[in-house]
Amino acid sequence: MAVEQPSPVKEDAPVEEPFVTQHDRQQVQRSTQQTRDDCLRQLEFYLCDINLPYDAFLKGEMGADGSLACETVANSGRIKQYAPLLTPKQRAFLLWDVAEASDSVARVGDRRVRRAYPLPADDEKKPVCVYARLAPTETAREYLGDDDAFERALAARADAESFGPVVSARRRRDLRKTRDLTGEVVVELEDEAKATALLAVLTEATRLDGRKLVTDRPDVAVAAASTAADFYDQFGADCEAFAAEGKRRAAERTNGGSGQKRPRESVERASGLVLAFDGAKEDCDREALEAACAAHGKVAFVGFQRGAESGTVRFDDAAHAAAARDALSAAGADAPAGTWRLLEGAEEADYWRDVDDYLERKRARAGGKGGKGGKGGKGFGRGKGGGKGRGGGFGKGRGRQMETLERARQGSDAAAVDDVACAWLRRNGKGGYVKAFLVMRRKTDTLSWCDLEDLIAIFEPLPLQPEGQGNDDDALAQMLSGLGLDATR
Please, which residues have CB within 8 angstroms of residue 167's CB and are 6 or more apart in sequence? 128, 188, 189, 190
Largest Cα–Cα distance in the chain?
A: 111
Please, which residues have CB within 8 angstroms of residue 173's CB and are 6 or more apart in sequence? 44, 104, 179, 180, 181, 182
From 228, 148, 135, 144, select the one nearest 187 (Cα to Cα).
Answer: 228
Edge-to-edge strand ranges of the sheet holding 168-173: 168-173, 181-188, 129-136, 220-227
Instruction: Report yes or no: 203 and 163 within 8 Å, Cβ to Cβ.
Output: no
Distance from C-alpha of 10 to C-alpha of 82, rounded to nearest angstrom: 46
Alpha carbon of residue 283 to chain centroid: 28
Instruction: Report yes or no: 105 and 113 within 8 Å, Cβ to Cβ.
Output: yes
Instruction: Report yes or no: 232 and 155 within 8 Å, Cβ to Cβ.
Output: no
Q: pTM score, two decimals?
A: 0.49
**SS3 assignment for the chain:** CCCCCCCCCCCCCCCCCCCCCHHHHHHHHCCCHHHHHHHHHHHHHHCCCCCHHHCHHHHHHCCCCCEEEHHHHHCCHHHHHHCCCCCHHHHHHHHHHHHHHCCCEEEECCCEEEECCCCHHHCCCHHHEEEEEEEECHHHHHHHHCCCHHHHHHHCCCCHHHCCCCCEEEEEECCCCCCCEEEEEEEECCCHHHHHHHHHHHHHHHHCCCCCCCCCCCCEEEEEEEEHHHHHHHHHHHHHHHHHHHHHHHHHHHHCCCCCCCCCCCCCCCCCCEEEEEEECCCCCHHHHHHHHHCCCCEEEEECCCCCCCEEEEECCHHHHHHHHHHHHHHHHHCCEEEEEECCHHHHHHHHHHHHHHHHHHHHHHCCCCCCCCCCCCCCCCCCCCCCCCCCCCCCCCCHHHHHHHHHHCCCCHHHHHHHHHHHHHHCCCHHHHHHHHHHHHHHCCCHHHCHHHHHHHHCCCCCCCCCCCCHHHHHHHHHHHCCCCCCC
Distance from C-alpha of 359 to C-alpha of 244, rounded to nearest angstrom: 20
- Find residue 225's DSSP bridge partners: 132
* C-alpha gyration radius of the chain: 29
Please, what are the averages of pLDDT over each run of 10 residues along the chain (489 residues)? 43 50 88 92 90 87 91 90 89 93 90 90 87 81 78 85 88 83 89 92 74 68 87 82 73 57 53 88 85 87 81 88 89 87 85 79 54 38 37 38 50 59 72 72 50 59 64 56 48
- Does the CA dihedral 421-423-425-428 come out positive or negative? negative
Please, which residues have CB within 8 angstroms of residue 231's CB and are 6 or more apart in sequence? 131, 186
**How many CA atoms lie less than 13 Å away from 60 in the CB half-sphere?**
6
Distance from C-alpha of 123 to C-alpha of 106, rounded to nearest angstrom: 16
Distance from C-alpha of 452 to C-alpha of 431, rounded to nearest angstrom: 15
